[in-house]
Amino acid sequence: MVRVDGRGQSSSLIQVRGLDKKYQRGSEEIHVLQGLNLDVEKGEFIAFMGPSGSGKTTLLNLLGGLDVPSAGTVTVAGDEITHMSRSVLTQWRARHVGFVFQMYNLIPVLTAYQNVELPLLLTKLSKTQRREHVETALNVVGLPDRMHHYPRQLSGGQEQRVAIARAIVSDPTFLLCDEPTGDLDRKSADEIMNLIEELVKQHGKTVLMVTHDPVVAQRAGTTLHLEKGALVGSTRGEEVTAGGRR
Amino acid sequence: MKFRGLMYANLFRKKTRLILIVGCFASALFLFGVLAVVKKAFSGGVEIAGADRLLIINRTSIIQPLPLSYRERILKIPGVKQITYANWFGGVYQDERNFFPQIAVDVENERTVYPEIVVPDNQWQTFLKDRPGAIAGAATAKRFGWKVGDHIPIKGTFIPGVWDFNLDGIYHGSQKDFDETQFLFHWDYFEEKVPERFKGKVGWYVIRIANPEDAVRIIKAIDDEFSNSPYETRTDTEKSFAAGWVKQFGNIEFLVLTIGGVVFFTLLLVAGNTMAIAVRERTAEMAVLKAVGYSDRFVMLMVLLESLTIAAVGGIVGVALAKALTLLGNPLPNVLPMFYLPSMAVLSGLGIAVAIGAVSGIIPAVGAMRLRVVDALRRV
């Protein structure tokens, strides 16, 4: 069960404590996140909603080890990532995080197969083993017949499926999805959400997703609302203290 | 090499741009190769000039003669080991454009002083016995399709009449840079046919000395020996003489270095700009690579390797084209006594290409390495 009061169990998959993020813009200091707490259990599907500038993407970046906080800690599966060096963090991301971006961010000169294979090239898997993993991932997202297509030969929905296959191919600890349906029409968005739900329900994946779309957010088990860098409420009744602070 | 697909795809993502930038490297290296060929043609003689050989000419000018009687006096100077002499002939074979040096030589001593001249023994023996005989350099023989036994008519210029020579042999240089364009014939035959005013005169002497370190003393001794005479001498090392000869055409080395420098500097700017654009276009992709676990170092090496590959391929193509040009034959045999691409130039050309590839790739590569995923994705 998701907790945002900082009193979650130490066995939680993701533990966030007192997370702060400030940016300096000229002489002005901008507080993007303020003393945020969060506990996420394995297999949960959480959506973050909030107005632009509320800190959703910053939170996702911090959880994924793409950015470092100004204060506070993020612990994932027992690893405290906030004090890891850049190179260690890179290796950690390869093992634990699958990213899905709004703009898919596939490499246009690589086929769907090669895009999905990218994270596996960093492992010690043989070519045959990599092939098995890639084919499995493409089967899960329903694109086994498009593996030799280039991104330009795919629809937006199909590109996002390939991006999801790339995110899951190395079986990461959790998935971070930043507006995964933001660039898709409703039908394609539904298909992508069905796929993400399937990953959670059938494959036991933990998914943290940022979205602006309430329809999409409804598909998540829990929706947390962010405003001015603080968690201000939850759709599924979890207790959220003011500003997310204890 | 499991990253081959990624590298290959990145290299070929913009084929037109790839062809153009490889073409830039190839053109620059081709030009470098041609300049190296020209430089070698002019400086080859200087580089292989014997350190133990001295050249003695008339102090006034090389076109003024020296008496043959100097031979014995020069040989008496301590440290002088061997001596030979020669005269410039300057005739025309068929057409004035068919220039090649024709030289009347002291056949008894020519090969002692110039051991670089390699001729089959039987050909040389025939030549020694054949007064109107001649030996041609392999390059000249090839140029005119001459074979041993051919009769070569050469029309005299300052010495009138048509001289009919028997081609008794073809020589090669024992070293690659040795001039293979000369046409050598008997000085005695020359002496026999020249007008009275030219008799008993030689164009220049060449001596070999026992110890090259003694050169300065011997040069002074020779020039002192003939000072205040009607035929004063100017003695110099063969190398210095050859260098002076090259300088008559201008400072070839400076010219080659300047042109080469400008071309390579321009190439560096073009390549650097191209790599910077190529990397900037892929900011988001690099961010994604880093997000999924590729290290900063990997991304840097990927960009650098791409730049080095382009430079190396362009360099190889350019140098290969320059080499191919030399294999087609010397287009200016009248001007360039040798026409080949030295191995050192091939290596230095490829080295320069790779260095330009490294320099032009390093700034974008370091930029790619320092790229922060969050910043890069925000820019997209």
Asked if B208 and B82 touch (Cβ cutoff 8 Å), the reply is yes
- Our measurement of the distance from residue B213's CA atom to the centroid of its chain's CA atoms, rounded to an integer in Å, reads 27
pLDDT reported for residue B115: 92
- Exposure letters A196-235 (e unless 16+ CB within 10 A, then b): beebbeeeebbbbbbbebeebbebbbbbbbbbebbbbbbb
Mutate to test the interface with A, among B8, B292, B296, B374 (most CBs of A within 10 A): B292
List B202's β-bridge partners, or say none.
Answer: B66
Mutate to test the interface with B, among A114, A116, A118 (most CBs of B within 10 A): A118
Alpha carbons B282 and B364: distance in angstroms, whole number: 11
What are the φ and ψ backbone dihedral angles of B236, each rounded to 5 degrees?
Answer: -150, 165
Contacts of A87 in chain B (CB under 8 A): 295-297
Comparing CB atoms, the residue among B289, B291, B380 nearest residue A66 is: B291
pLDDT reported for residue A181: 93
Comparing CB atoms, the residue among B6, B9, B292 nearest residue A99 is: B292
DSSP per residue, A17-40 = EEEEEEEEETTEEEEEEEEEEEEE
For residue A134, with 0-12 CB atoms within 10 Å meaning exposed, 13-18 middle and 19 or more buried, which class applies?
A: buried
DSSP per residue, B56-92 = EEESS-TTS-EETTHHHHHHTSTTEEEEEEEEE---B
- Our measurement of the distance from residue B300's CA atom to the centroid of its chain's CA atoms, rounded to an integer in Å, reads 40
Asked if B318 and B352 touch (Cβ cutoff 8 Å), the reply is no
What are the φ and ψ backbone dihedral angles of B269, each rounded to 5 degrees?
Answer: -65, -45
3-class SS of residue A41: coil
The distance of B353 to chain A (nearest Cα, Å) reads 27
The residue of chain A nearest to residue B290, with distances taken between CA atoms, is A90
Residues 6+ apart with CB under 8 A from A155: A188
pLDDT reported for residue A225: 93
pLDDT at A244 > cutoff 70: no
Neighbours of B155 (CB within 10 A): 14
Tell me if chain B has a CB within 8 Å of the CB of A66. yes
- Exposure letters A88-110 (e unless 16+ CB within 10 A, then b): ebbebbbbbbbbbbbbbbbbebb
Q: Look at B46 and A104; give whichever has higher pLDDT.
A: A104
Question: How far is the CA of A140 from the CAs of A114, A196, A203, B217, B297, in angstroms?
Answer: 16, 10, 10, 92, 33
- Exposure letters A165-176 (e unless 16+ CB within 10 A, then b): bbbbbbebbbbb
Instruction: State the amino acid at position B168 in one-letter form.
Output: D
For residue B253, what are its two tokens?
A: 């080395």
The distance of A52 to chain B (nearest Cα, Å) reads 13
Alpha carbons A165 and A171: distance in angstroms, whole number: 10
* Alpha-helix runs per DSSP H in A103-228: 112-117, 127-140, 156-168, 186-201, 214-218
Instruction: State the amino acid at position A194 in one-letter form.
Output: N
Instruction: State the amino acid at position B111 in one-letter form.
Output: R
pLDDT at A230 > cutoff 60: yes
When pLDDT is cut at 50, 70 and 90, the band that residue A246 belongs to is very low
Question: How far is the CA of A222 from the CAs of A2, A13, A49, A227, B178, in angstroms?
Answer: 8, 16, 11, 16, 88
For residue B270, what are its two tokens?
A: 């073009």
pLDDT reported for residue B197: 84
Rg of chain A over Cα atoms, rounded to whole angstroms, equals 18
pLDDT reported for residue A70: 93
Q: Which positions of chain B have pLDDT values less than 70?
A: 1, 44-50, 334, 379-380
3-class SS of residue A233: strand
DSSP per residue, B162-199 = EEEEEEEEEEEESSTTS----EEEEHHHHHHHS-GGGT
Rg of chain B over Cα atoms, rounded to whole angstroms, equals 29
Q: How far apart are the first and last CA of chain B?
A: 31
Comparing CB atoms, the residue among B12, B297, B374 nearest residue A66 is: B374
What digits encode the pLDDT tens for the residues A118-175? 999 999 999 999 999 999 999 999 999 999 999 999 999 999 999 999 999 999 999 9
The distance of A99 to chain B (nearest Cα, Å) reads 7
What digits encode the pLDDT tens for the residues A167-203? 999 999 999 999 999 889 999 999 999 999 999 999 8
Interface of B with A (CB under 8 A): 2-3, 5-6, 9-10, 12-13, 284-285, 287-297, 372-374, 377, 380
For residue A236, what are its two tokens?
A: 């599924």
Neighbours of B324 (CB within 10 A): 12
Residues 6+ apart with CB under 8 A from A128: none
What digits encode the pLDDT tens for the residues A8-49? 666 789 999 999 999 888 888 888 999 999 999 999 999 999
Question: How far is the CA of A30 from the CAs of A21, A166, B102, B153, B274, in angstroms?
Answer: 8, 34, 88, 96, 37
pLDDT reported for residue B25: 95
What digits encode the pLDDT tens for the residues A40-90? 999 999 999 999 888 999 999 999 999 999 999 999 999 999 989 989 999
Asked if B315 and B354 touch (Cβ cutoff 8 Å), the reply is yes
pLDDT reported for residue B204: 95
ipTM entry:
0.89
The answer for A 113-142 residues in CB contact with B (under 8 A) is 114, 118-119, 121-122, 127
